[in-house]
Every structure is written in structure tokens, then in C-alpha cells.
Amino acid sequence: MGAERRTGVNASRRPRTPRSRVSPGQTREAAAAKFRLHKRAWALGMTDADVSLPLKPPAEPQTSAELDAVMSWIRAWETAGAQLPEHVHLDWVSRRWRTWGRQQLPVRLRLTTPEAVAAWAGQLREWRRLTHAADMLAQWAQGAVPLPVLRRVLGAAAELNSDDHERLLAVLTWLRENPQSGLFIRELPIVGIDSKWLETHRGIVSPIITSLTGESSLGFRTAEPRIRVRLLGTDRRPHLLAGLRDVEAPASEVAQLPVRPKLVIVTENLASFLALPADGRWGDAVAVFNPGYSASVAARLPWLSGARVLYWGDIDTHGFGILNRFRTHCPHTESVLMDRRTLADFRHLAGTEPAPLRVAPHHLETLTAAERDMVTQLHASGFPRVEQERIEWSAVLTAIDAAAARRFS
């Protein structure tokens, strides 16, 4: 496209900063951003696609060098305009420049369908995967599943291969027809489905079935939480745990054990649990191991109600978070080895908590004032963490001895 040039430029004219022209590559990047944002809604027909991208054509160039850059930009758009996908439109405008004559300038790129956006962004393959999955799910749902729910799972569903699509539809159909089966996943009468497959794809299955049943559960039977206990006393009578000293069983069975201890020591660390001496130094004490936040399961054991309950966790924010939850179900629980003195004595062995519990101390409602002060100190000092195994064993025994003596004195 030629330019009509005059022989000179008014030297008194002040130079102007050229407008920021938009290149074909930049519009592809912009289309890709729009595609990422809207692709799932477009695939489900939730919204229309009509993307208009202004190209910001320049004002009249002031120098020959500026003109050369503009002409290069125009040629780039001429080349791009000769290969436009369907429903991609390039708008031009005619302008007359005083110095350089009349020019045809590209002013706007319009992408009027989702497929056009995908094509211009180089995402046609992903678009076709999405529309295939969207059609499959919409046909199965027949309008019964809200479109926002389908939008939520569509990305993951589009990543499945054809065999997994068939498995997904089979699982959804079976669960729709058997919403409260009471079966273990292992028992599902669906070809190719096992526990691993369903757990891997639960993020697709659960939202869809929940939208139909109103229940967050898929109706499966789940394994009951298990609790491990050790008898620390010297009583070896056969009727106590059939002569066993270390037992792990479902929580409901542990609740029925014929034990009535005066002291229970709860720990979330297996090595510490196993190291507690079973020599009767704490009478008929029982040790309970239930790691992490599942410790609250053990807090419901009925035979804890008549015992002094000591909870020993790591000195970190999660240790106090677990204690807070445990005490919700067992209010008379006391913490041990989770105080300022223990932190000070073993601070040299502390690490840093990798992912602290971001809860303000006053929200940990069952903690004592001293325990909340500990959490505040942890927040203020960079979240140090003293794990149970770091504490010298003689200090452990001394602390538990003191707690046990308070009970029996």
C-alpha cells in the first residue's frame, strides 16, 4: 500500500509520542486471555462470544522512520487479514494524512463466535475437547444439573479420554439411581471402576451428584476411623484386651474396651506413643494415638470421662489447633509439654512451621489463657515448631510424672 509523501516536514511542529499500535501477535494473546476466562461458559452455551479488539491505529507519523514502522505494521495486518479464520473480521478505515497522503488503516479485530476466539488464540484443539465434554454432560444431565455446576467440572471432564468418559457416565448414572447405596466403593457393580478411579475423579462426580441429591456424601459406606491404644499399667489379667497390650481397632470398638483408667495420655506422634513406659509408673494409665486433627475422634471415647486426660502435641500452631478441637469433645483435657518453659528449654532444637494455622488465638475458644498466649507468641516469633521427638525423654517423663502425681496426691 503506497504512501503519498511531501518533500518536507514543518520543522516547527512539536514531536508527538506515537500511539501504541496493536500487532497481530498481541491480539492473539488477548484472545487467548479471553478464551481462558470464558471457555467453559462458552462451551456450555451460558454466554455468547463477541470479542472486539481495538488495534489503536497511529496518528500521522512525524518522520520517515515513524512512517516506515507504521507501514510495516499495516503490512503485518494485510498478511494476517488474508488468512482470517471463519467469523474473524478485520475492520479498516481510510484516513488522509497531510504529509503522507491517504492510507487504509486496520482499526479493529472482531471475533464473533467462541470457535473464532479459539482459532485466533491457537486453542482449537482444547475448544473441541471442551465442547465434546460439554455436549456429553449436557445430554446426560437433561437440564437437571445447574449449568454453573457443569461449568465447575467441565475442565477436568475435558481432560478424560473416551474410555474414561464412558466410565464417568456409567458412574453418574448408577449414583443417580442409587443415591444411598451404603456400599463400599470396592463393591460398585460398574465395569472398570475401582476405588482409585473414583477417588481420582471425585472432583467431577461429587458436584454433579450433590446437585441432584442435595447431599454432600455420595452414599457410600466409608471405613470407620481407627484408634490405637496401649495399656501402660502392670495388670496382665486376660480379660483386659484379651491379654493384648497394644491394640488398634475402629473407634466404636475401642469405645467398648473394658478399661477404666485414671490417667489417659493422648499423643499425635507414633514414636512418642510407643516410647511411653508400660511399667505401671502411672498406675493403670492408657496411651492413645490418634494423629493430627483426627484426634477429635478419640476425644469422644466414653471412658475418658472419668480419667485425667493429658494431651501432648507439637509446640506449633497446629498442635494447639488440634488441642482446641480435642477439648471441644473432652473439656477436662489438660495440655502437657506445650508451655513456655518447654519451648524455651528446647528452642535451640526448633524448626519453622511450614504452613502455620492462620487462625487468631482468640478464635481457639477452648484453649486456656496460657495456651492462647503461647499461640500469640508463636505468631509473633516467626512460627517456631518444636516437635515432640525433639524433646529430651527425661523431660517428658518428668512432666508426665508431675501431672500424674497431681491426680493421685
Q: Which of 184, 213, 242 is the last residue of a domain?
A: 213
Q: Give the list of residues 6+ apart from residue 139 with CB closer than 8 angstroms, or none.
A: none
The torsion angles phi and psi of 8, rounded to 5 degrees, stand at -145, 170
Q: How many degrees, rounded to 5, is the angle at CA 290 between CA 288 and CA 296?
A: 105
Q: State whether the Cα torsion 29-31-32-38 is positive or negative.
A: positive
Residue carrying C-alpha cell 519453622: 352
DSSP-assigned letter for residue 22: P
Structural contact between residues 289 and 318, judged by C-beta atoms closer than 8 angstroms: no
Q: 208 in a domain, yes or no?
A: yes
**Residues pairing with 53 in the sheet:** 109
Do both 287 and 159 map to the same domain?
Answer: no
- pLDDT in the model for residue 98: 76
- pLDDT in the model for residue 242: 75
- pLDDT in the model for residue 118: 97
Do both 58 and 188 map to the same domain?
Answer: no
Q: Which of 94, 123, 152 is the last residue of a domain?
A: 123
How many folded domains does the chain comprise?
Answer: 3
Rounded distance between C-alpha atoms, residue 126 and residue 113, angstroms: 15
Do both 250 and 356 map to the same domain?
Answer: yes
Burial of 271 (0-12, 13-18, 19+ CB in 10 A): exposed
Q: 6 in a domain, yes or no?
A: no
- pLDDT in the model for residue 332: 96
Do both 264 and 361 map to the same domain?
Answer: yes
**Among candidates 109, 59, 113, 56, which has minimal Cα distance to 80?**
109
Cell numbers for 118, please give them: 479459539
Rounded distance between C-alpha atoms, residue 245 and residue 94, angstroms: 93
Q: Which H/E stretch holds residue 380?
A: helix 369-380
Q: Give the list of residues 6+ apart from residue 394 with CB closer than 8 angstroms, or none.
A: none
> Domain range for residue 383?
226-405
Do both 79 and 157 map to the same domain?
Answer: no
Mean pLDDT by 10 residues, the chain (409 residues): 37 48 96 97 94 90 77 93 94 84 90 97 97 97 96 96 96 95 91 91 96 90 92 75 87 92 94 95 93 86 95 96 96 96 95 94 95 96 95 96 73
Distance of CA 116 to the CA centre of its chain: 33
